[in-house]
Amino acid sequence: MQTTWYLLIGFMLVTYAVLDGFDFGAGIVHLFVAKTDAERRHVLGAIGPVWDGNEVWLIAGAGVFFFAFPRAYAASLSGLYLPMMMVIWLLLLRGIAIEFRSKVEHPLWRAAFDATFAGSSAVMAGVLGVALGNLARGVPVDESGWVQLDLFTDFHPTARTLGAIDVYTALVGVFAIATLGAHGATYLVWKTSDEVHARSVRLARRAWPVVIGLGAVVTVATWLTQPAYFETFLLRPWIWPLPLLAIASGIMCPRYVARGEEGRAFLASCTFVAGLLFATVGTLYPTLLRSTIDPALSLDAFNASSPRATLGIGLAVWIPAMALAVGYFTYLYWSFRGKVRIEDQHY
C-alpha cells in the first residue's frame, strides 16, 4: 500500500510539472517572443483558460503527501519554511500579474506586470528545480526526524552544514528554468500564431539543444554528488527506458518544430519532462527524505507513512476523485483546443 501511494504522489507531482510547467515556461520566454502589448496579451490568452487549473495538481499533491506520509511532510516543512513562503508569494505574484494586467491600461503598470510575470515564472521554476536537487542530494534529517536546513551556507554539496541552495541544487534549478522555458516555447509554437508563433519556433529550436547539454552536465553532477543513485539505477532495469525515452524526445522536439509538426513537438516536450521525473521517482524509491547525517535516519515510504488501514480508505476516495479530475481536465483542454488568435484578447 505504501508503494502505491508513493507512485500516486509521484504521478500527481509529475503531472503538475508537465501541465503547470508549460505556463511557467510561457512566462519565462514571453518577453522574448512577444514584443508589443497585443502580442503579450496573445501569450496570456494561450495559457489563460488553463493556468490556474494546472496549479490544482500542486495543491492536491501536497495534500495527498500530508495524508499518506505525514512524518515526511512534517519533517520537510520543519526546515523549509522560508522556501515554502517563497513559493506561496511567487504563485500569488504570478496570478496577480496574469489577472490584473489587462485591468490597467497605463503602459508603466503593464510593463511592471509583464516583468512580474516573467520574473515570478523563472524564479518559481528555479525553486522547483532546487527542491528536486535537495531530494536527490539529501537533507539533514536528525535523530528526532526533523530537518534543520539553512537557505544557503558555503555552497558545497557535501559540506558538513548544508544549505537548501548549493552548487549542485543551483545547477538543477538552472536546468529546470531552461527545461520549462523550452517546454513553454514549444507550447506557444502549438497554440499561437503570427509573429509570436514565428519567434517561438526560433526560440524552441535553439533552446532544446541547450537543455540536452545542461541535462548531461546535471547527470554528471548527480553522479559526483550521489553515486549510489547510479548503482540503484543499474539494479532496476525497468527504469532504463524512461531516461532513454526522455532523451529521444528532447532530441526530436526541435526537429518536429522545424517540420511544422507542432502537436508532436509538444507531445515530445511533455514526454521529456515526464520521462526524466518518472525516472527520478523510480530511482529514489522508497526514499522520501534522504538523511545526509546518517542514511539510517532517512524517511521512506515505509517508516513515514500513515497506517495501512488509513491508506486503504484514502485509496477508495482517491480513485473516484482522480477520475473526476481527469475527466474535467480532458474536457477543459478539449474545449480550448486549437490555436489562439491574436484578435482573441481576454487578458
DSSP string over 190-210: HH--HHHHHHHHHHHHHHHHH
pLDDT of 160 > 80? The answer is no
CA distance 165 to 221: 15
Model confidence at 82, pLDDT cuts 50, 70, 90, reads confident
Model confidence at 321, pLDDT cuts 50, 70, 90, reads very high
Q: Tell me what pLDDT residue 341 has.
A: 81
Q: Tell me what pLDDT residue 9 has.
A: 97
Q: Domain 2-335 sits in which CATH superfamily?
A: Formate dehydrogenase/DMSO reductase domain (1.20.1630.10)
Neighbours of 152 (CB within 10 A): 13
Model confidence at 158, pLDDT cuts 50, 70, 90, reads low
The half-sphere exposure of 109 on its side-chain side, counting CA atoms within 13 A, is 11
CA distance 120 to 123: 5
pLDDT of 347 > 60? The answer is no
Q: What are the extents of the domains in the chain? A: 2-335
Q: What are phi and psi of 249, to 5 degrees?
A: -65, -40
Model confidence at 151, pLDDT cuts 50, 70, 90, reads confident
> Which DSSP category does 139 fall into?
B
Region at 19 (left for phi over 0; alpha for psi -120 to 50; beta for the rest): alpha
Model confidence at 146, pLDDT cuts 50, 70, 90, reads confident
Q: Tell me what pLDDT residue 41 has.
A: 93
pLDDT of 80 > 90? The answer is no
| Stronger pLDDT, 295 or 254, i.e. the higher one | 254
- Give, in order, the Cα–Cα distances in Å from 276 to each of 151, 237, 243, 286: 26, 15, 6, 17
CA distance 84 to 127: 10
At 218-274, the pLDDT tens digits run 999 999 999 988 889 889 999 999 999 999 999 999 999 999 999 999 999 999 999
Q: Of 23-32, 148-157, 217-226, 327-336, where does mean pLDDT reach its minimum?
A: 148-157
Which whole number is the average pLDDT over 131-141?
A: 92
Grid cell of 93 as nine digits = 505574484
Question: What's the mean per-residue pLDDT of the chain?
Answer: 92
pLDDT of 153 > 90? The answer is no
pLDDT of 54 > 60? The answer is yes
CA distance 195 to 222: 39
Q: Tell me what pLDDT residue 191 has.
A: 95
Indicate the helix (H) or strand (E) that contains 300: strand 299-300
pLDDT of 32 > 90? The answer is yes
Grid cell of 97 as nine digits = 500579474
β-strands 299-300, 287-289 pairing: antiparallel
Which whole number is the average pLDDT over 93-115?
A: 91
At 166-220, the pLDDT tens digits run 999 999 999 999 999 999 999 999 999 889 999 999 999 999 999 999 999 999 9
Neighbours of 217 (CB within 10 A): 12
In 3D space, the residue among 208, 290, 284 whose CA is nearest the CA of residue 246 turns out to be 208
CA distance 43 to 292: 43
Q: Tell me what pLDDT residue 102 has.
A: 84
pLDDT of 159 > 70? The answer is no
Q: Tell me what pLDDT residue 345 has.
A: 64
pLDDT of 66 > 90? The answer is yes
Q: Tell me what pLDDT residue 76 has.
A: 86
Grid cell of 334 as nine digits = 478539449
CA distance 267 to 208: 14
Altogether, the residues listed in the chain come to a count of: 347
